[in-house]
Amino acid sequence: MTDTTIAQAEPVLVAIDIAKARHEVLIAVPGRKRRRRLTVL
Protein backbone atom coordinates (compact mmCIF):
# COMPACT_ATOMS: atom_id res chain seq x y z
CA MET A 1 0.00 0.00 0.00
CA THR A 2 1.28 3.47 -0.88
CA ASP A 3 1.00 6.42 1.49
CA THR A 4 0.66 9.75 -0.33
CA THR A 5 0.97 13.10 1.39
CA ILE A 6 0.20 16.31 -0.48
CA ALA A 7 1.36 19.43 1.33
CA GLN A 8 1.26 22.99 0.14
CA ALA A 9 3.58 25.63 1.60
CA GLU A 10 1.21 28.57 1.06
CA PRO A 11 -2.53 28.61 1.74
CA VAL A 12 -5.19 28.77 -0.96
CA LEU A 13 -7.52 31.70 -0.26
CA VAL A 14 -11.27 31.21 -0.76
CA ALA A 15 -13.86 33.98 -0.34
CA ILE A 16 -17.57 33.13 -0.36
CA ASP A 17 -20.36 35.73 -0.66
CA ILE A 18 -23.72 34.20 0.26
CA ALA A 19 -26.87 35.90 -0.99
CA LYS A 20 -30.49 34.96 -1.72
CA ALA A 21 -30.36 34.82 -5.54
CA ARG A 22 -26.81 33.58 -6.10
CA HIS A 23 -23.55 32.90 -4.30
CA GLU A 24 -20.17 34.22 -5.48
CA VAL A 25 -16.92 32.30 -4.87
CA LEU A 26 -13.41 33.69 -5.41
CA ILE A 27 -10.41 31.31 -5.31
CA ALA A 28 -6.83 32.66 -5.20
CA VAL A 29 -4.03 30.11 -5.63
CA PRO A 30 -0.54 31.24 -4.53
CA GLY A 31 1.92 31.71 -7.38
CA ARG A 32 -0.77 32.52 -9.95
CA LYS A 33 -1.86 36.03 -10.92
CA ARG A 34 -5.28 35.02 -12.19
CA ARG A 35 -8.02 34.29 -9.67
CA ARG A 36 -10.90 31.92 -10.30
CA ARG A 37 -14.42 33.31 -9.85
CA LEU A 38 -17.50 31.10 -9.70
CA THR A 39 -21.22 31.89 -9.48
CA VAL A 40 -23.53 29.35 -7.84
CA LEU A 41 -27.25 29.84 -8.44
What's the confidence (pLDDT) of residue 3? 86
pLDDT at 4: 84
Q: What is the pTM (predicted TM-score) of this model?
A: 0.67
* pLDDT on residue 7: 80
| Tens of pLDDT, residue by residue, the chain (41 residues) | 688 888 878 899 999 999 999 999 999 998 889 999 999 99
pLDDT of residue 6: 80
In this structure, the strands spanning 13-17 and 36-40 are unpaired
Residue 31, by phi and psi: left (phi above 0), alpha (psi -120 to 50) or beta?
Answer: left
Pairing of strands 36-40, 23-28: antiparallel
Contact 7, 18 (CB under 8 A): no
CB 38 within 8 Å of CB 18: no
- Beta strands per DSSP E along 1-41: 13-17, 23-28, 36-40
